Chain A
Amino acid sequence: MSNKVFAHASDAIHDISDGAVLMLGGFGLCGIPEHAIAALVKKGVRQLTCISNNAGVDDFGIGLLLQQRQVKKMISSYVGENAEFERQLLSGELEVELIPQGTLATRCMMAGYGIPAFFTPAGYGTEVAADKESRPFKLFGQEKDYLMEYAFEADFALVKAWKGDTQGNLIFKAAARNFNPLMAMAGRITIAEVEHLVEPGQLDPNEIHTPGIYVHRIFKGDHFEKRIEQRTVQAKSTV
């Protein structure tokens, strides 16, 4: 069996080069491949196209790649938390394609299922629909107009899981699942970073979210910062 395990993020991403198209899992800063991003910053690859729901914040996540001007194009649904992003966008340094969140998720999923295109009502009649084929369909007893959207292809998918085994089987935790299993299935080469890396047989096959067939490389992250974007709590009662 070929060895999928890498010791460090830098080894796992060694062949990501200038101009690569990447998918990066995560929603906000939740479930992002933070070690792979740090390794890309260190490697200094440029002209990247990043497919990711968000663009991180100024000093964490994809924001770190933006700071170093390593990103040519972002394909995202919401980018509101990053001032540097907005600056680069308004100055024309950065190309941005904004697409509806469900469309983004499904375009990733479709690649993993081998389906080239699908129809969705999201964005019909809006500027998102420009130059796209549309068609009416009747579903659930209702006729509506749908837009045709294509599956995304990516050279590399960078995902973060809670647990993984050396064969690449992955389990995600809570809301850190988000785009990760979809992108894991879509990458030409999928690189997973995990909090816990175990031997085959130590994960319950009933609980695997992503079968290892989709995962080409896996490594254990040393320490996950897991930064919280909006810390909201209830004050402890003093009673």
Chain B
Amino acid sequence: MLDKNQIAKRIAQELRDGMYVNLGIGIPTLVANYIPEGVQVVLQSENGLLGMGPFPMEGEEDADVINAGKQTITTIPGSAFFDSAMSFGMIRAGKIDLTVLGAMEVADNGDIANWKIPGKMVKGMGGAMDLVASAQNIIVAMQHTNRAGESKLLSQCTLPITGLRCVRKVVTELGVFDITTRGFELREIAPGVTVEDVIAKTAGRLVVDGDIKTIVL
């Protein structure tokens, strides 16, 4: 079974040199800690920055330099600031090569729900609906089940939808799943996890066939 950092590390293996990448809040943010050797990517922060760097050294934080999670950050050489309309312009126009998001639920047709729990949580969608409506390559990083132990990989989302048929890949503590017309196709399985575990915890259509590798980190 993978922990949060290992989920991030596995997703980081999807990064290719030169990619423009948008990382969401939560596990996706951790992906930046595991960019493989020899790979350079440019991180987009949708509040208006390309070329996000690490957190500043203590005492060097600047209130005007924050990321989409409102955290103080730094810029790397070659970075650029822009307004929020341009930021979502580049997202809508498909310029971002990879988008990594968290989710509350993902359906086996690629639908995603991650912005609202009716009657409970009313924080809003932020940029999530814009991202999922336009990104060509979306990976969801999340736990396989919710706090009640119920599967988050479903045949149909029960929570309000963020976007339709948009998720391409899901990485959880149990494995790596590609979403195809057949449903969640198990591609890789986490060390110490059995196929039976995956079947028991997946409510949507699950395809287990072909060559299933063990995740190597």
Which residues of A approach B to under 8 Å, CB–CB? 27-31, 53, 76-81, 86, 89-90, 96, 98-106, 108-109, 120-128, 140, 162, 173-182, 209, 226-236
Residues of A within 8 A of B126 (CB): 77-78, 100-101
- A236 near B64 with CB under 8 A, answer no
Across the A-B interface, how many residue pairs have beta carbons closer than 8 Å? 181
Chain B: number of interface residues, binned into ranges: 35 or more
Cross-chain contact of A105 among B88, B134, B160 (Cβ < 8 A): B88
Q: 18 A–B contact pairs at CB < 8 A?
A: A29-B70, A30-B47, A30-B70, A100-B128, A101-B126, A106-B89, A109-B85, A122-B88, A126-B160, A162-B64, A175-B47, A175-B65, A176-B64, A182-B83, A226-B63, A232-B73, A233-B57, A236-B57
Knowing A30-B63, A121-B134, A228-B63 touch, does A98 contact B57 (C-beta < 8 A)?
no
- A179 near B134 with CB under 8 A, answer no
- B134 near A108 with CB under 8 A, answer no
Q: Which residue of B lies closest to A123 (CB)?
A: B129
Residue B138, interface by CB 8 Å: no
Q: Which residue of B lies closest to A109 (CB)?
A: B85
Cross-chain contact of A234 among B54, B93, B129 (Cβ < 8 A): B54
- B87 near A105 with CB under 8 A, answer yes
Residues of A within 8 A of B128 (CB): 100
- B82 near A101 with CB under 8 A, answer no
Cross-chain contact of A180 among B69, B83, B122 (Cβ < 8 A): B83
CA distance A187 to B81 in the complex (A): 23
Residues of A within 8 A of B93 (CB): 140
- B58 near A233 with CB under 8 A, answer yes
CA distance A121 to B164 in the complex (A): 11
B101 to chain A, nearest CB (A): 14
- A102 near B71 with CB under 8 A, answer no
Residue B127, interface by CB 8 Å: yes
Q: A27-B47, A179-B84, A233-B57 are in contact. List 16 more A-B contacts (CB 8 A).
A: A79-B122, A90-B122, A101-B88, A101-B130, A105-B88, A120-B133, A121-B133, A124-B133, A124-B163, A124-B164, A125-B164, A126-B129, A126-B160, A140-B93, A178-B48, A230-B69
CA distance A5 to B57 in the complex (A): 38
Residue B106, interface by CB 8 Å: no
- B161 near A126 with CB under 8 A, answer yes
CA distance A127 to B163 in the complex (A): 10
B105 to chain A, nearest CB (A): 13
- B64 near A30 with CB under 8 A, answer yes
Q: Which residue of B lies closest to A96 (CB)?
A: B122
B24 to chain A, nearest CB (A): 12
Q: Which residue of A lies closest to B82 (CB)?
A: A177
Cross-chain contact of B64 among A99, A226, A229 (Cβ < 8 A): A226
Cross-chain contact of B83 among A89, A178, A232 (Cβ < 8 A): A178
Q: Which residue of A lies closest to B118 (CB)?
A: A127
- B64 near A173 with CB under 8 A, answer yes
- A102 near B127 with CB under 8 A, answer yes
- A122 near B133 with CB under 8 A, answer yes
B114 to chain A, nearest CB (A): 11
B140 to chain A, nearest CB (A): 17
Q: What mask results when residues 43 to 68 of chain B are scored 1 for a CB within 8 Å of chain A, else 0?
A: 00111110000111111111111110
Report B70-118 residues with CB < 8 Å from chain A CB: 70-73, 75, 81-85, 87-89, 91-94
- A232 near B71 with CB under 8 A, answer yes
Cross-chain contact of B84 among A99, A101, A234 (Cβ < 8 A): A101
